[in-house]
Amino acid sequence: MDLSNRRILLSAIVIGVALLYIARLFYIQIVDDSYKLDALNNSRRFEVHHPARGLIYDRNGKLIVANEAAYDLMVVTGQIKDLDTAELLSIINVNKDLFLTELKKAQKSRFRPYPIIKQISAETYARLQERLFDFPGFYVQTRTVRNYPYHCGALVLGYISEVNNDDIKKDSYYEQGDYIGKIGLEKRYESYLRGVKGGNYYQVDVKGRVKGSLEDGKYDKTVVLGKNITTTLDIELQQYGEKLMQNKKGSIVAIDPKTGEILALVSSPTFDPNSMVGRLVSENYNKLVRDPLKPLYNRPIQGVYPPGSTFKTVNALIGLQEEIVTQNTMYGCLSGYYSGGLHVGCHNHVSPINLIESIKMSCNAYYCNEFRSIMDAPKYGSVREGFLKWQSYIKAFGLGKPLGIDLPSEKSGNIPRAESYDRTYGKNRWNSLTIVSLAIGQGEITETPLQMANIAATIANKGYYYTPHLVKEIDDTVFDNSFIQRHDLPIAKKNFDIVTEGMYQVVNGGPGATAWWLAIKGLDICGKTGTAQNPHGEDHSMFMAFAPRNNPKIAIAVCVENGGFGATLAAPMAVLMIEKYLTDTITNTWREQQVLEKSISYKN
């Protein structure tokens, strides 16, 4: 028997195995990419360097958003060895279940560092640091967190929190565990404040020990520090405003009329921005979300209210500019306005009165007459045309659209439209009487407190305003401030002089003026009260003002929800704010005390 042929089968077995192995190698080396990714994750570690976030200053250079060190306990599960959980927990003092669930999450990747316990305290860090070698796989990463030394301005300044999946989807810059501005300036100026994170690539071995830099740092990225921002806010005024607003719902907006710089933007109720830092963030946040008084609602730019009597100044200016009335035009008032079965009430005052007195005493009848005179003026040909002319003026005042403040989510308010009247009453079936409530700032018109303050600023400037804004400058950066624009109104300066005189009389006109008891000698405050009718309860108390009369430095709007007459609550608050800002002292502490103690209970 010749057995030498058996070599063929033996050779075939050898070749067959070789082919099988080569096919397998082809698959894992060429076809399947997952091993390459695993290899990368295995062997390189990117140590991220987070730049310090930009600081935020107020207009006087006071630090209002600071950074402080925080310590995150990190874990690389692949490096854990003989973990004594109980021992570790006793040092960091953390709930065991929480720790174990986080550890489970961390175990999804053996090699990637995972922040297992965030923001451990400095003392815990110090204690842990000494024992860290007992817990291989664990280390502490230092990070900075925000600190708000003045404990105010939460909604203006905003806060930062960890990115969620949406944030990562929108911008690939972010990775799990990064922080992002969520609201306010932190959000609006995120790209300046955050800087650019960098870091170094290292080669690591199986135990996670660094074996040197990766290709001599070819891929390393340098860190760019976050930019510091100087805001227009006067933090002490902001703080004072929030103090005045305590236990009330409402807003205060103070603007430097010459520049459009916002001095204070108070929303009440509010919260301490420091509560959005630290381990209790989610607990605190949920509390805010559930609060029926909606502290997360930024009222000065998101709340919309009928302007009430403060709007009479606007109507006066339109009538003057359109030469429907002059400062000497007189209308009578018999405790109200009566026409065709309609009655608009008014309070007792002398009659008839001229335009300046009408502002001083806030006469409803005067403005009903004046407004209807505009609408019905023969020069327009029809009420519709008259209405459209009127509408073009109120648009020029910045109503009906967002002003463009550098904060997210500004509301536009509402201005009446001829089309919607057509829908409600039938085309051209409406007349000046139908819409007469606009004369006194009621009806279909609403505005944000910011818009009201902007009107005050416009009157203070006698015919123009700058887009209200919060940021003055950004360090080392040409700050794109093109959104700040000067808006000139098609209304003559002399007409503003007349209305200004009226507003001056409101405060300084002696008995009979709506806010005469608030006059402060030397401050020359010009103001206008407003009481916005509120179908749901007590009227809203409004006041807009600027001061001093010549060379105004501050324009302000105050709105207290359910605060009653404008003169009773909003006006004294505005005056206190003005006095605080202009003189830095409060002369009438009794008035201040009253405002502070005033507490309004809200049902819902």
Partner 1 sequence: MARKVENILRNIDWHIVVIYVFLVFAGWLNIYSAVFDENATSIFDAGQKYGKQLIWIIAAFLLAIGVLIFDSRFYFKFAYIFYFLIILSLVGVYLFAPEIKGARSWFEVGPLRVQPSEFAKLATSAVVARFMGRYDFKINRLSDIVKLGGLLALPGLLIVMQGDAGSALVFSAFFLVFYREGMPFTIILLGVYAILIFALSIIWGGLILSIIAVVLCYLAFFLYGMQKAHKISIVKMLLVPFAFVIPAVVYRYFHIDSSVVVIFVIGFVILFVPVAFYTYKKRVPTLLIIFGIALGSVFISQSVEYVFTNLLEAHQRTRINVFFGLESDPQGSEFNVIQSKIAIGSGDWMGKGFLNGTQTKNDFVPEQSTDFIFCTIGEEWGFLGSFVIIGLFVYLILRIMYDAEQQRTAFSRIYGYSVASILFFHVLINIGMTIGLMPVIGIPLPFFSYGGSSLWGFTLLLFIFVKLDANRTELIQ
* Amino acid (one-letter) located at 276: M
Q: Exactly one of 34, 172, 550, 585 binds partner 1 (CB under 8 A); which one? A: 34
**Residue 550 burial (CB < 10 Å; 0-12/13-18/19+)?**
exposed
Q: Is 122 in the site for partner 1 (CB under 8 A)?
A: no
Task: Give the whole-angstrom CA distance, residue 193 versus residue 180.
Answer: 10
Task: Give the whole-angstrom CA distance, residue 242 versus residue 386.
Answer: 42
Q: Which two tokens stand for residue 505?
A: 């009389």
Q: Is 213 in the site for partner 1 (CB under 8 A)?
A: no
Closest CB 273 distance from partner 1, rounded Å:
45
State which residue, 25 or 289, has the beta carbon closest to partner 1: 25
Q: Is 107 in the site for partner 1 (CB under 8 A)?
A: no
State which residue, 126 or 206, has the beta carbon closest to partner 1: 206
Q: Exactly one of 87, 205, 497, 584 binds partner 1 (CB under 8 A); which one? A: 205
Kindly indicate which of the ranges 16-24, 169-177, 365-373, 531-539 contains the residues binding partner 1, using the contact rule CB under 8 A: 16-24
State which residue, 19 or 196, has the beta carbon closest to partner 1: 19
Kindly indicate which of the ranges 18-26, 266-274, 459-467, 508-516 contains the residues binding partner 1, using the contact rule CB under 8 A: 18-26
CA 453 and chain centroid, separation: 16
Q: Is 38 in the site for partner 1 (CB under 8 A)?
A: yes
Q: Is 104 in the site for partner 1 (CB under 8 A)?
A: no
Task: Give the whole-angstrom CA distance, residue 461 versus residue 243.
Answer: 29
State which residue, 34 or 550, has the beta carbon closest to partner 1: 34
* Residues with Cβ within 8 Å of residue 110, at least 6 apart in sequence: 76, 77, 78
497-500 LR contacts (CB < 8 Å, sep 24+):
497/462, 498/316, 498/320, 498/327, 498/355, 498/356, 499/313, 499/316, 499/317, 499/320, 499/359, 499/459, 500/459, 500/460, 500/462, 500/526, 500/549
Kindly indicate which of the ranges 33-41, 287-295, 495-503, 571-579 contains the residues binding partner 1, using the contact rule CB under 8 A: 33-41
**Which residues in the 409-428 window bind partner 1 by CB under 8 A?**
none
Q: Exactly one of 147, 203, 327, 481 binds partner 1 (CB under 8 A); which one? A: 203
# of chain residues touching partner 1 (CB under 8 A): 40
Q: Is 86 in the site for partner 1 (CB under 8 A)?
A: no
The DSSP symbol for 502 reads H
Q: Is 109 in the site for partner 1 (CB under 8 A)?
A: no
Q: Exactly one of 196, 206, 224, 334 binds partner 1 (CB under 8 A); which one? A: 206
* Amino acid (one-letter) located at 216: D
Q: Is 219 in the site for partner 1 (CB under 8 A)?
A: no
Residue 15: its H or E element: helix 6-26
- Integer-rounded Cα Rg, in Å, for the chain is 33
CA 483 and chain centroid, separation: 17
Neighbours of 52 (CB within 10 A): 14
Q: Which two tokens stand for residue 43?
A: 């062997």
Task: Give the whole-angstrom CA distance, residue 461 versus residue 458.
Answer: 5
Q: Exactly one of 24, 105, 401, 486 binds partner 1 (CB under 8 A); which one? A: 24
Closest CB 47 distance from partner 1, rounded Å:
16
Interface pattern 512-551 for partner 1 (x via CB under 8 A): ----------------------------------------
Q: Is 14 in the site for partner 1 (CB under 8 A)?
A: yes
Q: Is 172 in the site for partner 1 (CB under 8 A)?
A: no
Contact (CB, 8 A) for 214 and 186 = no
**Residue 551 burial (CB < 10 Å; 0-12/13-18/19+)?**
exposed
Q: Exactly one of 61, 212, 378, 426 binds partner 1 (CB under 8 A); which one? A: 212
Q: Exactly one of 20, 100, 224, 289 binds partner 1 (CB under 8 A); which one? A: 20
**Which residues in the 42-71 window bind partner 1 by CB under 8 A?**
42-44
Q: Is 39 in the site for partner 1 (CB under 8 A)?
A: yes
Kindly indicate which of the ranges 29-37, 145-153, 271-279, 481-489 contains the residues binding partner 1, using the contact rule CB under 8 A: 29-37
Kindly indicate which of the ranges 158-166, 197-205, 245-253, 582-590 contains the residues binding partner 1, using the contact rule CB under 8 A: 197-205
State which residue, 13 or 196, has the beta carbon closest to partner 1: 13
User: 3-state class of 93 per DSSP?
Assistant: coil
For 36-92, give the DSSP string: HHHHHHHHEEEEEEPPPPPPEE-TTS-EEEEEEEEEEEEE-GGG--S--HHHHHHHH
State which residue, 35 or 338, has the beta carbon closest to partner 1: 35
**Residue 204 burial (CB < 10 Å; 0-12/13-18/19+)?**
buried
Q: Which residues pair with 433 in a beta bridge?
A: none
What's the distance, Cα to Cα, between the start and end of the chain in Å? 106
Q: Is 217 in the site for partner 1 (CB under 8 A)?
A: no
Q: Exactly one of 64, 128, 157, 204 binds partner 1 (CB under 8 A); which one? A: 204
Closest CB 217 distance from partner 1, rounded Å:
15
Q: Is 85 in the site for partner 1 (CB under 8 A)?
A: no
Contact (CB, 8 A) for 371 and 315 = yes
Q: Exactly one of 49, 105, 207, 343 binds partner 1 (CB under 8 A); which one? A: 207
Closest CB 99 distance from partner 1, rounded Å:
20
Peptide bond into 273 cis (omega under 30): no
Q: Is 18 in the site for partner 1 (CB under 8 A)?
A: yes
Q: State the residue for tokens 């550098």.
A: 406
Closest CB 111 distance from partner 1, rounded Å:
10
Residues that bind partner 1 (CB under 8 A): 1, 3-4, 6-7, 9-11, 13-15, 17-18, 20-22, 24-26, 28-30, 32, 34-36, 38-40, 42-44, 110, 203-207, 211-212
